[in-house]
Amino acid sequence: MSSTTSGPSYQVTDPSTGEVVDSFDIATDAEIEAALSSSAAAYGTWKDVPITERAEVVKKVAALFAERADELAAIATREMGKPEAEGVEEAEFCQAIFEYFANEGPTLAADQPIKAFSGGKAMVQRLPIGPLLGIMPWNFPFYQIARFVAPNLMLGNTIILKHAESVPGSALAVEQIMKDAGLPEGAYINVFATHDQIETIIADPRIQGVSLTGSERAGAIVGALAGKHLKKCVLELGGSDPFVVLDTADIDEVAGTAWDFRMYNTGQACNSNKRMIVMDDLFDDFVGKLTEKALATETYSPLSSRAAAESLAEQVQDAVDKGATLHAGGVLSDGPAAFYSPAVLSGITEEMRAYREELFGPVAVVYKVGSDEEALELANNTQYGLGGSVFSTDPERATKLAQRLEVGMANVNTAAGEGAEIPFGGVKRSGFGRELGPLGMDEFVNKRMFYVAD
């Protein structure tokens, strides 16, 4: 392993100005070794703390997320451009997640008796497995951590956390919350690691699993490393979720729902409704309503970086050059700021990049279809399989189609079922594994069979 600082640079660039406002030293190899040693030592004691006592610490984590919501929101705004109100919501969601696992964890992790046909008593126990590595993205810099960390701290695992290079302040703020909540030394450690150091951490025998939320490319690399070293792996790699409108009694309402969900976090959400699939008799009105909303948007937040804004602009321009219609928006600001005006795009065809690539930004893409079967075929014609939703005044009709979506999360008459208790995850190239809800405590766990003979 290299002892140089090759790899990513941890710095804060305000996307509203393009100005670098802070930077942080990359970890030394000695610091990485210290983190591994400390995490392993902490696991030795944390796993033996009764789960009800671990819950008390996790509840304090929840309380601190709520107490510091305004402070956390301001950090996220500075680092990746998140609207401050959404940053407060994110911190409050973290509170809900930690509270959920603190309250439900002892039940979710309880021994599960199973039938033994040969006599004796058999049960499945849910036990921790050891130190884990989390590799998290910038788009929800607190929530992504919470949904990975909360269940695993409850189980008795310990955490080494490598955050995105662009949100080091968010990473340090979460680490401070963990310390202030009373987690033992080494139970949660933030590292500003290089890519080479991440490979070293995954290879280390003390690490028992790795969870990554990020790009397909990053997921393929981390998944391959985890497989090479026989480590459990959870991957959430984005999506191109369908939002299918079969019919509606209120076009304003369904278009408003579609627009608000697409624009949340400036369009930078994995499970955003990136493909709106609308019946032909509603299509013109639907596009018209979205266009009105785009044209009425006078102020908006920047994307996370200038590079992200330029990449999105290239994807949209490719579509327009090949015949798509840009109804509104789609204006890239002068550099080095990262503003891109909320856009409405239709007429996407298979030769365009936008047909197969994820558009990670404020672009509402609308497709026209003529039947339920055509809607389903288009919805499933993607390499991704994170989530999807179907809207209709006839719940049975919507349910019938939603049941056939090739996704990890299917929704009827809502953009997304969301909550600390609702599992999150996908299929196909959207990754594998689940976070949140009862399934969130079922990943990095030793489901040990325990049998006592008569």
CA distance 64 to 3: 36
Q: Which residue has the tokens 């909550």?
A: 419
Give long-range contacts, CB 8 A cutoff, 24+ apart: 17-25.
17/336, 17/337, 18/306, 18/335, 18/336, 18/337, 18/338, 19/336, 21/78, 22/168, 22/169, 24/168, 24/192, 25/192
Residues across the chain: 454
Among candidate residues 94, 270, 358, 435, the one labeled active-site is 270
Q: Which amino acid is at 40?
A: A
Give the whole-angstrom CA distance, residue 390 versus residue 413. Answer: 6
User: Cis ω on the peptide bond leading into residue 336 (within 30° of 0)?
Assistant: yes
Instruction: Note the Cα 192 to chain centre separation in Å.
Output: 20
Catalytic residue status for 236: yes
**Per-residue b/e over 54-72, b at no fewer than 16 CB within 10 Å?**
bbebbbbbbebbbebbeeb
Closest by alpha carbon to 78, among 387, 301, 402, 334? 301
* Closest C-alpha to 341, from 305, 304, 294: 294
Note whether 65 and 95 are within 8 A (CB).
yes
Residue 54 structure tokens = 């671990």
**Rg of the chain taking only CA atoms, in angstroms:** 23
Token pair, residue 234, equals 């959870």
- Active-site annotation holds for 270: yes
Residues 6+ apart with CB under 8 A from 124: 111, 112, 114, 447, 448, 449, 450
Q: Could you report how far apart the first and last alpha carbons of the chain are, in Å?
A: 53
Whether 338 contacts 239, CB under 8 Å: no
Closest CA to 159 of 175, 140, 141: 175
Q: Which of 90, 175, 236, 358 is catalytic?
A: 236
Catalytic residues: 236, 270
